[in-house]
Amino acid sequence: MTKEEFKKAYIDEVVECCAKPLDECSDLERYEALVSLISYRATEILAETTKRNSIEKPKKVYYFSMEFLIGKLLENYLINLGCKDVVEQGLREMGVELSDLLEVESDPGLGNGGLGRLAACFLDSMAAMGIPGMGMGLRFRFGLFRQRIISGYQIEEPDAWLENGYPWETVKTSGAVQVRFGGTIEKTFNDGKLGFIHKDGEVVLAVPYDVPIVGFDGRYTNILRLWQARNLHETVDFEAFNKGNYPMAMREKSRTEAITCILYPNDNSDTGKILRLKQEYLLCCAGLNSILQSYEASYGSDAWGELADHVAVHINDTHPALCVPELMRILVDEKKMEWDDAWEVTRNTIAFTNHTVLPEALERWPQEMLKELLPRIYMIIEEIDRRWKDSLRGRDDWHQLSTETAILADDQVRMAQLSVIGSHSVNGVAALHSKIIAEDLFRGFSALDPAKFSNKTNGISHRRFLIQSNPALSGLITEALGESWKREPGRMEELLRFSEDTGFLDAVARAKAENKQRLVDYISKTSHIAVDPQSVFDVQVKRIHAYKRQLLNALKILDIYNTLKDDPNADVKPATFIFSGKAAPGYAFAKEVIKFICSVADLVNSDPVIRERIKVVFIENFCVSNAQLIYPAADISEQISTAGKEASGTGNMKFMMNGAVTLGTLDGANVEIHGLVGDENIKIFGLTADETSGLAHSGAYRSQQVCDGDPTIKRMMDQLVNGTFSASGRNFWDIRDALLQYNDEYFVLKDLEPYRKAWRELTQTYQDSSAWNRMCLVNIAKSHFFSSDRTIDEYAKEIWKVSRR
């Protein structure tokens, strides 16, 4: 499409959509007209892809995930369709700035953290590589929440991302699926076969909304299907309504719509647990039913035994674990397969990725709750569990294996065990993580079937988080390597030939400076804090959790504050410390850490001397859009989780790809980063995973002894409660107790001194611009390993057994 062709088509679309001249339209109307024009092309490609698939009938991948953080799509589409420059220039000639229209679009509220961003990257790579696939998720009306920071406290507000509709989606009412909760199970016996009929209970309608995912170069388009809960029949309680009891009159509608209202409702109560279970089952039931309807239309009603030859179902963590019993329910109860045949099909169809080693994050549901809410599903889980235990009998270690691997134990349904037993493949997401799940978390399963376990180190979309997020750097790479690196990220390795090229290294530095100024402007606009773009940008952005150790970072800053307070001329390099991330609404300690970070920020930023040396910023409401400003601007990437706790991380990859240098522990994918760039291009500190595990099991660690032996730490522990933060209106006894009284579960104090030392050394290196720019270039060049194209290629070849086109 030429510029003139675009301008004519856009003016025609404005007239069609808005019925008035372009100069009389609002930015929202101009945005909607542009979306209408671009989505028409996306729909054309989707139709071409669908036609090709119907002829070729390739094996198709269905990726189930509770989160899909796809971010704003307009710019992504323009880049992947290869028309961004044409559109931007054409609009400018008509007096419209593309950047203004991009600001109109809302971030879809479809996730929280790395899990959702990973799933979105995977969809991007699958479409770019021509792997037929579909994402299966839920259409949350208000997402997780919109975070505001008021007086240092996290305040959760509804994320009304659907307020103006969502122009990229298409509702597919004809594909709606009925989902049943509660009720009773009636057994039947006909023609010598036992059958089951699910009666009564609550029936809701899951309605699919399809969002096209356009692949790079616009050759293929896949679908993200989002399910929304609705009433089976529109109804109202007239008796209650006529009595003026309007909430009671609408209670059925409200109860149903609550299922897809909020992502991750607080599950500290039984009511919250039930709502989460409803969400997870609705996703699995609706998704699988739609898959099998499509499969039957293509292959007939007698081809269920070959399902795994044509369909791959992947469950992203344990949220979609109910895919296992739900697929069994459909095959046994509805398709009338024998149990053993159905079980072989189910296991050969489903694969499972584990994303955590934290026991509290491995989902478990009360048996009675699941039995009452999903009676037939619970019966199937019981049978799977019984047959699994029977398969272990006769072994000398039967009791131990049964205890470790049972699905039903301690009145709980253990979803991780269900996922492992019901899948043909189980993978971790970084080398260290995969080692831990095979040797510790799932050691019983691994001992029985080691070939079932593998590693698939996570990846990120270089198109979203480099090409789109960092045009200055990606333009420089294109000048050096040509266009082909965008499709073949492995070519980024060739950048190493410029490692002694002063001109190229200076250009890398100029790109970084441009990105830092862009973030400075954003911080000034949103946080009203003036930041020095010449200072080192030390950044930690991720979900707030004790094991991710934002607290360690905040204590380091408090120590720097103390150093400067004692000696204003101390050798501390100018630095801006940037935090962002959300705490789960029910996670009190994480919220306390946010308040502490903000209190340290107030202490630093209000001091007229110290604020000229360092600044602290907490950017509220971390999301894909502001992440795309933050990653390119970072100098230091803080990846400081307790070793052995982080599965992989993907933020570390995004920072690396944008030229930040990692300051971190040997945890998650940091291990692979270290292996790729070498000691000289990363700063590693602290305990290893083996050391943290050893200390945890031996009980040898005593945080109070560490405190007593280090006056600097003792001073900070006292500051938590002695009124140092009185201006923020509180002390921090809970944090102090966690570190001292409860023995510092995540080894914050143990790692604090090596962390401070590593930070000082790294910021000293930053003063040598030539050495630093070379470190940045090495990280950029080596980051190609973390492209999600590489990850998806491994999944496709080794787990899904599908071919790229």
Is the CA virtual torsion 149, 150, 153, 157 positive or negative? negative
pLDDT at 729: 83
Whole-angstrom distance, CA of residue 323 vs CA of residue 708:
52
Whole-angstrom distance, CA of residue 596 vs CA of residue 583:
13
Q: Which helix (H) or strand (E) holds 541?
A: strand 536-541
pLDDT at 113: 82
pLDDT in tens, 211-229: 999 999 999 999 999 999 9
pLDDT at 1: 80
- Span of 242-246, 383-387, 416-420 with lowest mean pLDDT: 242-246
Average pLDDT over residues 721-741: 94
Say if CB 702 and CB 692 are below 8 A apart. no
278 flagged as catalytic: no
Q: List C-alpha distances in Å: 573 to 286, 578, 731.
A: 56, 15, 29
Place of tokens 């050394």: 761
pLDDT at 244: 73
Angle between helices 375-392 and 339-349 in degrees, nearest 10: 90
pLDDT at 238: 60
- Both tokens assigned to 213: 């995912």
Whole-angstrom distance, CA of residue 587 vs CA of residue 544:
9
Burial (CB count <10 Å: 0-12, 13-18, 19+), residue 389? middle
Residue 248 has pLDDT above 90, yes or no: no
389 flagged as catalytic: no
Whole-angstrom distance, CA of residue 685 vs CA of residue 663:
8
Average pLDDT over residues 278-301: 97
Residue 538 has pLDDT above 90, yes or no: yes
Catalytic residue among 314, 355, 613, 615: 355
Catalytic residue among 256, 405, 650, 791: 650
pLDDT at 249: 58
In a 13 Å sphere around the CA of 771, the CA atoms on its Cβ side amount to 10
- 197 φ, ψ to 5°? -120, 125
Say if CB 268 and CB 171 are below 8 A apart. no
Average pLDDT over residues 109-131: 94
Instruction: Using pLDDT thresholds of 50, 70 and 90, give the confidence band for residue 175.
Output: very high
pLDDT in tens, 630-645: 999 999 999 999 999 9
Catalytic residue among 30, 329, 654, 756: 654
Whole-angstrom distance, CA of residue 610 vs CA of residue 691:
37
pLDDT at 240: 66
From the CA atom positions of the chain, what is the Rg in Å?
Answer: 27
Whole-angstrom distance, CA of residue 131 vs CA of residue 287:
19
Indicate the DSSP class of residue 660: P
Residues with Cβ within 8 Å of 536's Cβ and at least 6 positions away in sequence, in order, are 573, 574, 575, 576, 635, 636, 763, 766
Whole-angstrom distance, CA of residue 478 vs CA of residue 483:
6
Q: Taking the chain, what is the end-to-end CA distance rounded to the nearest angstrom?
A: 25
556 flagged as catalytic: no
Average pLDDT over residues 104-126: 94
Is the CA virtual torsion 349, 354, 355, 358 positive or negative? positive
pLDDT in tens, 651-678: 999 999 999 999 999 999 999 999 999 9
Residue 191 has pLDDT above 90, yes or no: no
pLDDT at 241: 64
Residues with Cβ within 8 Å of 576's Cβ and at least 6 positions away in sequence, in order, are 531, 532, 535, 536, 537, 538, 614, 615, 616, 617
Instruction: Using pLDDT thresholds of 50, 70 and 90, give the confidence band for residue 236.
Output: low
Instruction: Using pLDDT thresholds of 50, 70 and 90, give the confidence band for residue 337.
Output: very high
Say if CB 310 and CB 299 are below 8 A apart. yes
pLDDT at 803: 87
654 flagged as catalytic: yes
The pairing of strands 60-64 and 311-316 is: parallel
Residue 344 has pLDDT above 70, yes or no: yes
Whole-angstrom distance, CA of residue 561 vs CA of residue 600:
9
Could you give the angle at the alpha carbon of 68 between the alpha carbons of 62 and 71, nearest 5°? 135
Residues with Cβ within 8 Å of 460's Cβ and at least 6 positions away in sequence, in order, are 117, 118, 121, 650, 653, 654, 657, 786, 787, 788
- 399 φ, ψ to 5°? -65, -45
- 555 φ, ψ to 5°? -65, -35
Whole-angstrom distance, CA of residue 259 vs CA of residue 27:
33
Whole-angstrom distance, CA of residue 340 vs CA of residue 413:
22
User: Which of 133, 132, 114 lies closest to 68, judged by CA?
Assistant: 114
Give the count of beta carbons closer than 10 Å to the beta carbon of residue 297: 10
pLDDT at 359: 76
What's the distance, CA 54 to chain centroid?
Answer: 32
pLDDT at 190: 86
Say if CB 178 and CB 205 are below 8 A apart. yes
Average pLDDT over residues 341-353: 98
650 flagged as catalytic: yes
What is the pTM (predicted TM-score) of this model? Answer: 0.95
pLDDT at 755: 98
Catalytic residue among 72, 319, 452, 548: 548
Could you give the angle at the alpha carbon of 708 between the alpha carbons of 705 and 713, nearest 5°? 110
Catalytic residue among 84, 542, 750, 784: 542
User: Which of 688, 681, 653, 650 lies closest to 667, judged by CA?
Assistant: 688
Whole-angstrom distance, CA of residue 259 vs CA of residue 291:
21
Q: List C-alpha distances in Å: 592 to 376, 439, 588, 631, 755.
A: 42, 34, 6, 25, 22
Instruction: Using pLDDT thresholds of 50, 70 and 90, give the confidence band for residue 7.
Output: very high
pLDDT at 26: 93
pLDDT in tens, 559-603: 999 999 999 999 999 999 999 999 999 999 999 999 999 999 999
548 flagged as catalytic: yes
Average pLDDT over residues 178-199: 92
Average pLDDT over residues 470-496: 97
Q: List C-alpha distances in Å: 95 to 11, 25, 63, 98, 667.
A: 12, 12, 42, 10, 50
pLDDT in tens, 671-699: 999 999 999 999 999 999 999 999 999 99
pLDDT in tens, 791-800: 999 999 999 9
Place of tokens 């961004």: 84
3-state secondary structure of 636: strand
Residue 239 has pLDDT above 70, yes or no: no
Rounded to 10 degrees, the C-alpha dihedral 78/140/129/478 comes to 40
Average pLDDT, the chain: 95
User: Which of 291, 181, 166 lies closest to 232, judged by CA?
Assistant: 181
Whole-angstrom distance, CA of residue 711 vs CA of residue 518:
40
